[in-house]
Structure 1
């Protein structure tokens, strides 16, 4: 519920409307609008549609919010629309675009913000995504990656990667080696940090599962967890705090940034010779 209120407030801000402006255009009281934005009261699909109309929100963004409202009765809000893969990418792209800091702890695959087109394509085909949709999804992933290359306001990005991410080859050796060199190149950006946890460190807190932690300005941090056919966003200081503690723990066992890049370059050279 908090996410829906937050998104509606963001849309209102983007439309440069005050709560009084919305009151006059929607017929809702100022108190009702405020309670919706602060997740104090429930919101119906009809109310959400009216507000989205006032804010002139259309297309996928509008459908995304309405889908969330429809799922409010679930134990936790989640996404599994018919067009899951593209809706998932658009939702995540929106969150990443607003974040000031992104932490991604990945245990089994290269983070989406790091993936080369060839790696993404091989990954999607391996996961059974229809070939006629792979091109569109590769383009969506590339669009997400633009956030790291913004000339102003790019978020800090910390990627914590278990060595298992690289142990399972995705695509050909050429694709995998190019992917590793691409990560090393991105690690040269001043706002990007890569930390690798080698197998020699043994069991660690990250093996419980991958996650993404996003710090949003003036908002509660958001934790994103992905499943094969759905995704979940977790909100709240306590919930985010638990993942912040895991991140701190992983930082103690991971290689330094410089050593992680050296590790990846050696691995890329070895794979490239196969």
Structure 2
């Protein structure tokens, strides 16, 4: 299996991932499996339909490509795909094309978040597209509250510390972006599991007052049925989260073809981000999640701890 882990950093063309959608990624993955099974190279595939190998790569990576239906049919022929698989692939391709037409007609092809693209790093666009498509998110954080759970004042403190020269207008736009992302927790369209190190409750971006408001927000939103927040206390000692570090696991609903879109692990650093999709990597992260859940406080005990610390910081 090809290692589809990728790094996108602010100096690279992170917007290459802009047009990736769940149906496109599923279709591209299916085409890649057909090509590899037939032992055809990207060069051979490209020559067969008069395109370059990079175009085949874009197609298999789920990125927009100027490929026609007859060209897709030709690829399926040279890959010697069985009739049933041939029909399935064309059905998926038709779903991709219909989604593209609908997005174009509705003016939503670029995603609502791209109205803010000038104020966030280029690699984050792909993450926002994945988050918008996901129905299950698991976030493990060692230092800060996950973005989707950050209260406005807490988020503002992080923005101003990260980009001190950012204008007040752009700071407000980033806060608006965060609020729109969080709306999915309010309308129950996203299930969130947050496993937070006890250290997250101790760091004070913006000072004690800001942290107090953030902790109260965590206690409140943690009561929602689609949100599970659990603290991993320091006293448990070594646990898997200390090894894998902070990350977000995104999982997706079945596609119309009933195929499952593989989960994605997202990790972010000062210089860029990693998107990990390889099955064995995902399995290791899921094992780490299970290990952390085994030692984390219960949701109720977490709310009690968070509320107690909020009172202490406000004293």
Q: TM-score of the superposition, structure 1-length normalised?
A: 0.73
1:29: which partner in 2? none
Change (3 A) 1:182 1:237: same
Give 1:244 shift: 0.2
Give me the whole-angstrom Cα distance separating, in 2, the residues matched to 1:189 and 1:261. Answer: 12
User: Partner residue of 2:193?
Assistant: 158
Once the two structures are overlaid, the 10-residue window that deviates more, 33-42 or 214-223, is 33-42
Q: Does 1:140 align with 2:136?
A: no
Question: C-alpha distance in 1, partners of 2:262/2:110?
Answer: 22
How far apart, CA to CA, are the structure 2 residues paired with 1:260 and 1:139? 28
CA distance in 2, matches of 1:173, 1:98: 35
1:7 maps onto 2:7 in alignment: no
- Partners of 2:22 and 2:191 lie apart in 1 by 24
1:35 aligns to 2:31 (yes or no) = yes
Following superposition, the deviation at residue 90 of structure 1 comes to 3.5
1:201 alignment counterpart: 236
Q: Is the 8 A contact 2:22 2:261 kept in 1?
A: no
Q: Is residue 219 of structure 2 the alignment partner of residue 184 of structure 1? A: yes
For residue 89 of structure 1, report the CA deviation from its aligned partner.
4.2
Q: Show the counterpart of 1:73.
A: none
CA displacement at 1:93 relative to structure 2: 2.5
Please say if 1:271 is aligned against 2:308.
no
1:253 and 2:290 are equivalent in the alignment: no
Q: CA contact under 8 A between 2:5 and 2:274: conserved in structure 1?
A: no
The Cα offsets for residues 81-132 of structure 1, whole Å up to 9 and x where unpaired, read as x958254444322212222211100000000110011111101111235321
Question: How many residues align structurally?
Answer: 235
Q: CA deviation at 1:172?
A: 2.5
1:136 Cα deviation from its structure 2 partner: 2.1
Compared CA separation, residues 186 and 34, structure 1 to 2 (3 A): same
Q: How many Å apart are 1:173 and its aligned residue?
A: 1.5
Cα 1:150–1:2 change in 2 (3 A) is farther
Aligned-partner Cα distance in 1 for 2:142–2:21? 34
1:227 and 2:269 correspond: yes
Write out the 4+ residue segments of structure 1 that deviate beyond 4 Å after TM superposition.
1-4, 36-43, 51-54, 56-63
2:87 equivalent in structure 1: none
Cα deviation for residue 252 of structure 1 reads: 1.3
Q: Distance in 1 between matches of 2:220 and 2:266?
A: 26
Q: Residue 281 of structure 2: which of 239, 243, 247 is its match?
A: 239
Deviates more, 1:241-250 or 1:138-147: 138-147
- 1:222 deviates by 0.6
CA contact (8 A) 1:84 1:230 kept: no
Shift of residue 253, structure 1, vs aligned partner: 1.3
* Runs of 5+ consecutive residues of structure 2 not aligned to the other structure: 7-16, 37-41, 43-52, 69-95, 112-116, 254-259
Higher RCO (Cα < 8 Å, 6 or more apart): 2
CA distance in 1, matches of 2:152, 2:54: 40
Counterpart of 1:99? Answer: 134
Asked whether the equivalents of residues 106 and 211 of structure 1 are also in contact (C-alpha less than 8 Å), the reply is yes
- Deviation, 1:33, is 10
1:202 CA displacement: 2.2
Q: Deviations over 1:118-174 (max 9, x none)?
A: 1111011112353213222222222211211225xx222110000111211111222
Equivalent residue number for residue 149 of structure 1: 186
Larger radius of gyration: 2
